[in-house]
Amino acid sequence: MNFKQWEGTETAPVTISVTNELLNKYLKATNGLAADSQFVPPAFPMIFYQFIKVPWLEQQSFIHKEQVFSYEHPISLGDSLQCTVSLISLEKRRRFLVLHQELIGKNDGNQVVFSAKSILLKEAE
């Protein structure tokens, strides 16, 4: 795949709702305790990726190297967030292709609620 064609681009926004079902499945999978916190766990937004069409990730296998979640406000059950993913940059580092990408979630007022920056690696083709 020619990843360079996607550098600097952003996916179409997708509205994602934090439902009871989604949160409970996440808590079960991560051995988390329900109802202990009024907010969702901090790494929860990564599961939003499955609802967003990210062309540079299709049919690709990456290794996760670094991850940063930053919150302006915590996310609660029932929240709806408009989410996009952007490919900030990519570089070749030795035998690896390194992708820097960011998932952002905004509220109804178009204010950023969270960002999730990822650094992903794969062997360069």
Partner 1 sequence: MELLKAGSALEPLHFSEIKKEMVEDYAKVSGDYNPIHLDQIAAQKVGFQSPIIHGMLSMGLAAQIVEPLLRVGYWVKQYETTFRAPVFTGEALTIHGTIANVENDLLTIDIIAKSSSNDRILTGNIILKKL
Q: What 8-state DSSP symbol labels residue 20?
A: H
State the number of binding residues for partner 1 (CB under 8 A).
Answer: 33
Among 1, 22, 54, 88, binds partner 1 (CB under 8 A): 22
Q: Tally the residues of the chain.
A: 125
Find tokens 């901090």 and name the residue. Answer: 42
What amino acid occupies position 5?
Q
Beta bridge partners of 109: none
Residues between 73 and 92 that touch partner 1 (CB under 8 A): 74
Residue 37 is a binding residue for partner 1 (CB under 8 A): yes
Among 14, 46, 77, 112, binds partner 1 (CB under 8 A): 46
The pairs formed by 58-61 with CB atoms below 8 angstroms and a separation of 24 or more are 59/1, 60/1, 60/122, 61/122
Cβ 81 to partner 1 shortest distance, Å: 16
What's the distance, Cα to Cα, between the start and end of the chain in Å? 8
Task: Choose which of 15, 19, 20, 70 interacts with partner 1 (CB under 8 A).
Answer: 70
- The residues binding partner 1 (CB under 8 A) are 22, 25-26, 28-33, 36-37, 39, 41-44, 46-47, 49-50, 61-71, 74, 123
